Structure 1
Amino acid sequence: MSNPIHINLNTISKNMLGNEQMMKNFVGMYLQHCHTDFEKLREAVLAENHEEISAKAHHIKPTMAYIGASALGQQFQDLENAGEEKDAITSITEKFHLLDSDFAEMLEELKSLYDSLS
């Protein structure tokens, strides 16, 4: 796997005690669940529901620490704050589109890591 931009391989390895099978299981489950959670966030943004935007971003944010994606974690925090502060939907949508692109790249990095593990 080439050097990832969004995830930190050392963080993932450390969190899984260096066990490759645990890493593969974790990443596999993570790929399933984080995609579903992100789609719920997308639905909240499309529905222009500030409370749900904040809640869904808050739900996803801490999981970024497990994969060492601190920059993405900050983007989720910013979106959570925007929902809490009832920022203009245009501003929230702009933040979400940037996050959407970075999140998709992160998913590709995780998929590549998953495929590289035995």
Structure 2
Amino acid sequence: MPALSTCPCGQDAPYAACCGPLHRGETTASTAEQLMRSRYTAFVMHNAPYLQQTWSLTTRPAHIDFDTTREWTGLQIIGTTGGSPFHSDGTVEFRAHYTAAGTPGIQQENSTFTREAGHWVYVAAL
């Protein structure tokens, strides 16, 4: 993976101190939002193993195909429900900005998260 100064997830921190430890398996997400941000960064970096690992066993696809024509350009968190270190489920609504063939676009969704074996995982978009 390339060295990144600022983490793609939108936090004001270097990748190595932000989503990097999650991607390397040195720590796990403490909130649904933190997991959402790390998964966005995994999409930016085409990190399929991390996406698979953080996808619920009940909805995980057999493999992940990345749209190579899409370049992710920014993440905006709109809101969350639950998803704190004290919850067992939660939602994160977000807008992921991208360009495809030079045309800007936005993917907006409200994603659900739950805990499996004590760790936050992505379930599905509402």
- Do they superpose with TM above 0.5? no
- The structure number with the bigger radius of gyration is 1
Name which structure has the greater RCO, CA cutoff 8 Å, separation 6+: 1
The structure whose residues are more often helix, as a share, is 1
TM superposition score normalised by structure 1? 0.32
TM-score by length of 2: 0.31
